[in-house]
């Protein structure tokens, strides 16, 4: 991939790859290759994109008839699965806390839930305390909510928290028990999820600038962000930058540059490093509402990109905007860092921007009036789930990707 950034020093390139600008630019470079049919694994048929935009808009109108009230695509959406008002219950639980402790608790609930929100697999189910059985992202949300709110990551059921001690002591067996995992109810990437939270605890213990020094706790990142605000406002990119810098060390076994883990950045054999930061951006979107509850105003939300995950990516593949050059690839499992998956994810990011533009043009609204964070929620991931159910009985993704529970 030849551009100005190819001549940066390793440190400068590392810093660049940790930005939403880099995500867009590198994904656009992949998209340009697709436009000239120069990718190894995918063809692009943009003529089908208007139908995708219409599908997304139709589903958005059905889900949120008042289009001016579409919420952010954040983790809050899933906590009330099954019609149970868990967020309201959580607000009641922490009502007696000091204001900064309320912010910290909300941030901890969101971060731990998001980090546990990689694909669960088609077989896993979770029965909540309400007696209802949940699956997929909603099941992971309910399970992670009940884990945190019950004091499973530190503190107690009456005063939950996620401190360094609680996180570092979480074993795979303890997580399996909390998430009701057994041989008949397997959860994809169980060990990877538990390892990720233990590493998170180590990071919390070792970064007092973000998490405090007297009793390091994860939620102090929210307090740090509040203190970083200017006149009560925070840019979305500032939140993402703090998430990447504070939590970046938890990503191990990933490509490195300048001696540091790049996180969700992967090297394509002919295109170089392509960044996505899917979980970190999903986490940033999910932090908007806890920070707004603390009185902050989030600005420039559209600086962030779409999320390169299997629901959004599956939408474009199932709708045949993207077509595999070798259809046999649908029957194979693919590594997260493979060229094929990198191309799929990069094209997804670029196509989400184009889908958002098409929807706004249909509605006659601006990006400020309808930011990408709301189109994703309305939205693209719902459409990806719906078309998957139309195509496959189990509603699974069109491509099989080997995941350790920390990417998809």
Which stretch of 2-16, 60-74, 129-143 has the lowest confidence by average pLDDT?
2-16
Question: Phi then psi for 333, rounded to 5 degrees?
Answer: -95, 140
Burial-class residue 358 by CB neighbours within 10 Å (0-12, 13-18, 19+). middle
pLDDT at res. 260: 87
pLDDT in tens, 201-259: 999 999 999 999 988 999 999 999 999 999 999 999 999 999 999 998 888 788 888 88
Tokens of 267: 């090297």
pLDDT in tens, 19-76: 999 999 999 999 999 999 999 999 999 999 999 999 999 999 999 999 999 999 999 9
- Inter-residue contact 352 to 376 (CB < 8 Å): yes
Alpha carbon 266 to chain centroid, angstroms: 16
Peptide bond before residue 371 is cis, with ω within 30 degrees of 0: no
Model's pTM, two decimal places?
A: 0.92
Tokens of 405: 């529970």
| H/E stretch holding 57 | helix 49-63
pLDDT at 344 over 80: yes
pLDDT at res. 377: 95
pLDDT at 5 over 60: no
CA-wise closest residue to 30 among 343, 398, 372: 343
> What is d(CA 407, CA 250) in angstroms, rounded to the nearest whole number?
13
> What is d(CA 387, CA 147) in angstroms, rounded to the nearest whole number?
32
DSSP at 333 = E
Burial-class residue 112 by CB neighbours within 10 Å (0-12, 13-18, 19+). buried
Tokens of 195: 């390892």
DSSP at 90 = H
| H/E stretch holding 273 | strand 272-275
pLDDT at 157 over 90: yes
> What is d(CA 295, CA 155) in angstroms, rounded to the nearest whole number?
26
DSSP at 231 = T
pLDDT in tens, 347-402: 999 999 999 999 999 999 999 999 999 999 999 999 999 999 999 998 989 999 98
> What is d(CA 402, CA 163) in angstroms, rounded to the nearest whole number?
31
CA-wise closest residue to 313 among 352, 278, 366, 365: 352
Question: Phi then psi for 17, rounded to 5 degrees?
Answer: -70, -10
Kindly write down the DSSP assignment for every residue of 118-164, as one continuous string.
Answer: S---SS-EEE-TTS-EEEHHHHHHHHHHHHHHTTTTSB-SSSB--BH
Instruction: Tell me the average pLDDT across 288-299.
Output: 96
């Amino acid at each position: 991939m030849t551009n100005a950034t190819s001549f940066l020093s390793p440190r400068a390139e590392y810093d660049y790859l940790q930005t939403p600008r880099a995500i867009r630019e590198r994904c656009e470079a992949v998209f340009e290759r697709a436009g000239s049919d120069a990718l190894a694994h995918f063809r692009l048929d943009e003529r089908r994109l208007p139908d995708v935009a219409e599908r997304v808009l139709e589903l958005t109108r059905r889900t949120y008839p008042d289009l001016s009230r579409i919420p952010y695509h954040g983790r809050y959406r899933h906590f009330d699965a099954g019609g149970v008002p868990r967020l309201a219950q959580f607000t009641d639980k922490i009502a007696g806390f000091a204001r900064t402790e309320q912010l910290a608790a909300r941030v901890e609930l969101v971060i731990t839930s998001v980090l546990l929100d990689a694909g669960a697999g088609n077989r896993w189910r979770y029965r909540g305390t309400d007696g209802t059985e949940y699956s997929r992202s909603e099941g992971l949300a309910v399970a992670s909510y009940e884990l945190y709110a019950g004091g499973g990551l530190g503190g107690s059921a009456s005063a939950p928290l996620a401190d360094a001690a609680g996180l570092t002591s979480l074993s795979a067996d303890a997580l399996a028990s909390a998430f009701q995992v057994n041989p008949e109810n397997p959860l994809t990437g169980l060990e990877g999820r538990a390892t990720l939270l233990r590493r998170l605890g180590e990071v919390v213990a070792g970064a007092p600038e973000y998490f405090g020094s007297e009793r390091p706790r994860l939620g102090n990142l929210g307090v740090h962000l509040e203190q970083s605000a200017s006149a009560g406002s925070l840019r979305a990119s500032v939140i993402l930058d703090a998430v990447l810098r504070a939590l970046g060390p938890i990503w191990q076994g990933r490509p490195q540059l300048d001696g540091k883990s790049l996180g969700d950045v992967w090297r394509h054999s002919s295109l170089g490093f392509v960044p996505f930061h899917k979980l970190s951006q999903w986490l940033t979107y999910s932090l908007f509402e806890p920070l707004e509850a603390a009185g902050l105003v989030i600005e420039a939300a559209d600086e962030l990109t779409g999320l390169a995950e299997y629901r959004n990516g599956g939408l474009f593949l199932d709708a045949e905007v993207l077509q595999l050059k070798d259809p046999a690839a649908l029957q194979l499992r693919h590594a997260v860092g493979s060229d094929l998956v990198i191309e799929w994810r990069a094209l997804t990011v670029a196509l989400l921007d184009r889908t958002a533009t098409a929807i706004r043009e249909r509605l006659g609204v601006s990006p400020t009036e309808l930011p990408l964070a709301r189109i994703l929620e309305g939205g693209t991931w719902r459409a990806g789930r719906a078309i998957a159910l139309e195509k496959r009985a189990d509603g699974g993704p069109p491509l099989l990707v080997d995941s350790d529970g920390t990417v998809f």
